[in-house]
Every structure is written in structure tokens, then in C-alpha cells.
Amino acid sequence: GLYLLRLGAASAPPRSAAWFEKPAGMSYTALYALLAPLVDEEGAALWGRQMVLGPAPEFCLHTLRPVRLPGPLSGVSLDCCPVWP
């Protein structure tokens, strides 16, 4: 899919990525409010899907180290390794 930066800044190559869906019944405003402290504390970048090109989750949180998603969020976390510079 194509993703848009929703919170934070994409300033450094991420070392971890957490892919997840917005829980049913939760507003986007509530989701962003829930993640804002984590994004600020970790220097993270929250990416939100803009266009569906396959079965990818709606959101991806890039961080410099592995973090735990706040409840009620759950997803798949992966280690990242830069492949160019």
C-alpha cells in the first residue's frame, strides 16, 4: 500500500516496525491520542495507509528500538535493517 506520515517525523532509519489495525469502534482521533505519547517519547513515526494495494495492515509504527503497543492495540513487530546508506 501507500502510506502517509500521521504522527512524528521520519528522521532516522527505523530499527523496529510494528504493523497493526485500528480496533473496531475506535475513532482515528482516539487512536492518534493513544499513540501520541509513545511517538513523542520514542521519536517514532506513525504511518497510515492511504491506498490499498494488498493485504497490508492499516498502520505501521517505526521506532529506533522495539516498543510495546499500548492496549488495546496488537500487531506484528519486526526488526528493521537499513539496506542503503
pLDDT at 84: 83
pLDDT at 26: 98
Sign of CA dihedral 55, 21, 29, 69: negative
| Extents of the domains making up the chain | 2-66
pLDDT at 54: 82
Of 50, 49, 24, 20, give the one whose Cα is nearest residue 35: 20
pLDDT at 56: 87
Give CA–CA dist 23/44, Å, rounded.
20
Give CA–CA dist 16/19, Å, rounded.
10
Each residue's pLDDT, cut to its tens digit, for the chain (85 residues) gives: 799 999 999 988 999 999 999 999 999 999 999 999 999 999 999 999 998 888 889 999 999 999 999 999 999 999 999 888 7
pLDDT at 48: 97
pLDDT at 6: 98
Burial 45-80 (b: 16+ CB within 10 A, else e): bbbbbeeeeeeeebbbbbbbeebebeeebebebeee
